[in-house]
Structure 1
Amino acid sequence: MIRTRFAPSPTGFLHIGGVRTALFSWAYARKHGGTFVLRVEDTDLERSTPESVKAILDGMHWVGLDYDEGPFYQTQRFDRYKAVIQQLLDTGHAYHCYMSKDELDALRAEQEARGEKPRYNRLWRPEAGKNLPPVPEGVAPVVRFRNPVGGSVVWEDAVKGRIEISNEELDDLIIARPDGSPTYNFCVVVDDWDMHITHVIRGDDHVNNTPRQINILKALGAPLPVYAHLPMILNENGQKMSKRRDAVSVVDYAGQGILPEALLNYLARLGWGHGDDEFFSMQQFVEWFDLENVSASPSRFNHEKLLWLNGLHLKAADLGRLAELVRPRLAESGIATDGGPRLEDVIALVRERVQDVNALARECDYFYRKRTADSADVEKHLAGDAPARMARFAERLAALPQWETEAIHGLFKPFCAEEGIKMGQLGMPLRVLVCGTTQTPSVDAVLALIGRDEVLRRLTA
């Protein structure tokens, strides 16, 4: 049974790179009929906040990545971690270290001065025939994992291929702080073991953690999961995306008018592909997804491409759902849709013209309230005899036996012939007077939706 997990740290909002990691983990589990687990890694007690936890859960809900188990919180599993730490101490795979932080800082400074890689010197590591220093009074020790000294850690990464890291490059990792609280790399190991995670799919910033975690799993006699490290997402300048400089909370994309399925569609194409397919549903993605086609190279985030995909998803979305997204945006501008045309009908007419929900709302506004026309448009299209001509056309509109698009359209050609004008000399003044803008869909369809009474009111006001 395939079991994957998404394990964010609640030290801020849900980052866009985290959503892609969650998406790939979710899709792999769904593809193989497995289980997707959500785990909140909140052992950093100083930085983890309830607000960040809520942001993660809200973000997962908004994008629609449903999890089968969880959320599990590491802070609720401290007793389990302490028991495993004691197990490692009892078997000689861990030991107490009394080196203070000041001593460790001084040691590292000396090593750096000699041009050496700074590392703990294993002063308190028990060895056969070795005399340990006297235990200092009043010093609470940390617990360090007894990392193997020789050999290498080798694993076949499902994305990056074979990776080998010498144990000489690895320190004796601290797995418990002086207050007894466990550290990140250790908790991850116990969690993945206890939760029977078969595939660890995560960002490649964790590659350096993997050999340490593998060694701990081996010391515990636990099975090793398959590791798949996803390449990083770069910003549009080719730099590594950072929470401070580039990223926004994933739910902020909702405020930008991005649909969650469009965001997931776009993220799926960052580092993975299925031929030339660009626009697809999450059901299709699950059917197609595999780790073999995940690129080992970084991907660059392109906001224009995201907007393009979002526009495609807008055109395919349910009209009732879009109306529920547009209505509160109109309300924020003081526009009520009651008494006006059916919002779904308006959206069906204008959505081909936009790429996000905010722009969609702006395209809908003049159906319910005339915009204030730009003075340049008024001067250009309503000068001379244009107002009188519009009054004459209003009479034709008022006399129509049926108010529908075809009937309105049928007035245009004969009226232009009688007036000796081109269609633009009728359509543009109509748009400016009725809508307050020159940019609309077919003006006959617009007038039909706004309604006879309102159109005549705007034309004669």
Structure 2
Amino acid sequence: MTVKTRFAPSPTGFLHVGGARTALYSWLYAKNQGGEFVLRIEDTDLERSTQEAVDAILEGMSWLGLDWDEGPYYQTKRFARYDEVVEQLLAAGKAYKCYASKALLDEVRAEQEANKENPRYDANHPKIKAVNDAAKDGDAFVVRFRNPKEGSVVFADQIRGRIEIRNDQLDDLIIRRTDGSPTYNFCVVVDDWDMGITHVVRGEDHINNTARQINIYEALGATVPTFAHCAMILGDDGAKLSKRHGAVSVMQYRDDGYLPEALNNYLVRLGWSHGDQEIFSRDEMIEHFSLNAISKSASAFNTDKLLWLNHHYIKTSDPEYVAGHLQWHLDHQGINPENGPAVTEVIQLLADRVQTLVELAQQARYFYEDFDAFDEAAAKKHLRPVAKEPLVLALEKITALETWTTENLHQVITDVCETLELGMGKVGMPLRVAVTGGGQSPSVDATMQLIGKARVMKRIQMAIEFIEQREANAG
């Protein structure tokens, strides 16, 4: 048997963290088993489904690198198939037409609640039965699945173990609405049957749906897939993860400066483990992943942990690869990397100092753009009259440099310190503020080397003039 998994989001919103983790688990299990992964868009909710959401889901999956072997399939393009199966169930007496109006069903439900009964659809209720018996051609109706009344649905969940739900807790669910459109629980069964899905990985909120769906599988004589229901993801505060935790869309993490490897690595550990290992390459995830190693307990989202992982991947990934993802942020911040050093060199210099690509782009700006003002606090502290002499001497020595290397620039700073009998900070800090505009940067010699000789000379001269103006204003 070839293992076949699927991810089947509804395009009523963006691809969020919970959905991304489900997709990742499904994808990893298929890869681990040498199987196939299917992407299906469950867009039968015509009022709420949007093309924007479809595009966001596809973009999120592509950004995460979760490629699919089949699809994307769209349920709205399979209505003829659903109709065919509904008619088969009607012909076999496993489904029936129900003519009861919503108003009548609400009335029956209110009676059940008043009698302290479990409110549910009951085809044998006198009022419902009377309406159905009196129906004539042309009356509006829904089609309901004839759910078994006796026994239980029992299945072996790969995460949660044995699950049993009594049939008398399940009612005759609607499988086709009055407008002819099919419903979620029915479409899912037909799709998974037709597509040969062997394993279904999804959230624990679907457990009751699973019982209903298994009864439909059995009514159709279809093979029932193996199910694995993942626990929910909680926010940092222990509440269910929601928009207020910033979990709007997977692509928000791209916008916030995360690498897809960091998010994938974080999500795979958000409920699954392999010993004490924290960092996994994609190949390691595939090699070690198993459904029965997923925890039954809810997992709490920890933004600090995600930032730590992102920092790791920015530092350790191939700079060319990081540069590809950084480009979006450079564009977004209006930074043109053609006017300066190779982006890969800047990444290597700054990677240890940043947690996100947003920070990396921000800190890269002074390598590609000149500035017309210094950071006020840094200038007040370090571009004082006492800094003028070391800056003038440094500019003189830098101008005379024939070979522009980090080593030679380091020697310039050393020579200035020795000549003026100053500590390294008295020379290095004014130089840092002069060439970067602020008080934070990697080692000033390496920074100057990447900025380039012409820019460094121009910026030191600007700092000297700033000090002179400060002296004049003081006088």
Task: Give the TM-score normalised by structure 1.
Answer: 0.95
Alignment of 1:22-421 (within 5 A): 22-123=23-124, 133-135=133-135, 138-243=138-243, 246-371=246-371, 372-421=373-422
Shift of 1:121: 1.6
Mark the CA change 1:330 to 1:9 in structure 2 (over 3 Å): closer, same or farther: closer
Deviation string for 1:132-191 (max 9, x for gaps)?
Answer: 632267531111111111111111100011111111111111111112221110111111
Distance in 2 between residues matched to 1:16 and 1:300, nearest whole Å? 12
Matched to 2:94, the amino acid is H
Displacement after TM superposition at 1:413 (Å): 2.9
The corresponding residue for 1:429 is 430
2:459 matches 1:448: no
User: Quick check: 2:242–2:248 contact (8 Å CA) kept in 1?
Assistant: no
Partner of 2:469: none
CA distance 1:327–1:81, shift in 2 (3 Å): closer
Number of the residue aligned with 1:10: 11
The structure-2 alpha-carbon separation of the partners of 1:246 and 1:348, relative to structure 1 and needing over 3 Å to count, comes to closer
Q: Give a deviation string over 1:263-305, Cα, whole Å, max 9, x none.
A: 1111001000111111121111000100111001111111111
Alpha-carbon shift at residue 62 of structure 1 (Å) = 1.2
Contact 2:379/2:438 (<8 A) preserved = no
Rounded Cα–Cα distance in structure 1 between residues aligned with 2:209 and 2:284: 33
Please identify, of 440-449 and 105-114, the stretch whose mean Cα deviation from structure 2 is larger.
105-114
1:197-246 CA deviation, whole Å, 9 max, x = no partner?
11011111101101100111111111111000011111111111235764
Cα 1:88–1:453 change in 2 (3 A) is: same
Deviates more, 1:85-94 or 1:149-158: 85-94
1:239 partner letter: A
Q: For 1:103-129, what per-residue CA distance to the aligned partner results, in whole angstroms no more than 9, with x for missing partners?
A: 00111112222222210121389xxxx
Question: What secondary structure, in the 3-state scheme, does the structure 1 residue paired with 2:96 have?
Answer: strand
Structure 2 residue matching 1:37: 3-state secondary structure? strand
Q: Distance in 1 between matches of 2:255 and 2:335?
A: 18
**In the alignment, residue 38 of structure 1 is paired with which amino acid?**
L
- In the TM superposition, what whole-angstrom CA distance separates every residue of 1:400-443 from its partner, at most 9, and x where no partner exists? 23211111112333321221211111111001111111111111
CA contact (8 A) 1:124 1:132 kept: no
Unmatched runs of 5 consecutive residues or more in structure 2: 463-475
- Kept in 1: contact 2:99–2:132 (CA 8 A): no
Question: Hey, what's the Cα distance between the residues in 2 that align with 1:6 and 1:13?
Answer: 14
Q: Conserved in 2, the CA contact under 8 Å of 1:97 and 1:124?
A: no
Q: Post-superposition shift, 1:337?
A: 2.8
Q: Verify the 8 A CA contact 1:340 1:450 in the aligned structure 2.
A: yes
Q: CA deviation at 1:73?
A: 1.0
Give the deviation of 1:389 after TM superposition. Answer: 2.2
Unaligned runs of 5+ in 1: none
**Aligned partner letter, 1:369:** E
Query: CA, structure 1 residues 142+352, in 2 after alignment: closer, same or farther (shift >3 Å)?
Result: same
CA shift in 2, pair 1:143/1:327, >3 Å:
closer
Pair 245,177 (structure 1): closer, same or farther in 2 beyond 3 Å: farther
* Aligned-partner Cα distance in 2 for 1:8–1:399: 64
> Is 2:443 the counterpart of 1:438?
no
Inter-partner Cα distance in structure 1 for 2:409 and 2:37: 56
The SS at the match of 1:251 is: helix
How many angstroms apart in 2 are the aligned matches of 1:410 and 1:245? 50
Would you say the 8 A contact 1:431–1:440 is kept in 2?
A: yes
Higher helix proportion (structure 1 or 2) = 2
CA distance in 2, matches of 1:373, 1:179: 67
The alpha-carbon deviation at position 340 of structure 1 amounts to 1.9
Residue 154 of structure 2 aligns to a residue whose secondary structure is strand
Q: What is the Cα deviation at residue 388 of structure 1? A: 2.5
The alpha-carbon deviation at position 322 of structure 1 amounts to: 2.7
- Which range is displaced more, 116-125 or 261-270? 116-125
**C-alpha distance in structure 2 between counterparts of 1:39 and 1:73, whole Å:** 6
Quickly say closer, same or farther: Cα 1:364–1:278, change in 2 above 3 A.
same
In 1, Cα distance between equivalents of 2:177 and 2:131: 24
8 Å CA contact 2:333–2:361 kept in 1: the answer is no
Verify the 8 A CA contact 1:4 1:35 in the aligned structure 2: yes
Preserved CA contact (<8 Å) 1:42 1:75: yes
Change (3 A) 1:424 1:312: same
Q: Is the 8 A contact 2:233 2:299 kept in 1?
A: yes
Q: In structure 2, the residue corresponding to 1:431 is in which secondary structure? A: helix
Residues 399/132 of structure 1: CA separation in 2 closer, same or farther (3 Å cut) = closer
- Partners of 2:100 and 2:131 within 8 A in 1: no
Q: What's the secondary structure of 1:133's corresponding residue?
A: helix
Cα pair distance change 1:328/1:220, threshold 3 Å: closer
Contact 1:398 1:456 survives alignment (8 Å): yes
Amino acid at match of 1:156: A
Moved more, 252-261 or 367-376: 367-376
Count of residues paired in the alignment: 458
RMSD: 2.0
Would you say the 8 A contact 1:403–1:452 is kept in 2?
Answer: yes
Flag the 1:339–1:87 CA change in 2: closer, same or farther, 3 A. closer
| Distance change >3 Å, CA 368–CA 206, structure 1 → 2 | same
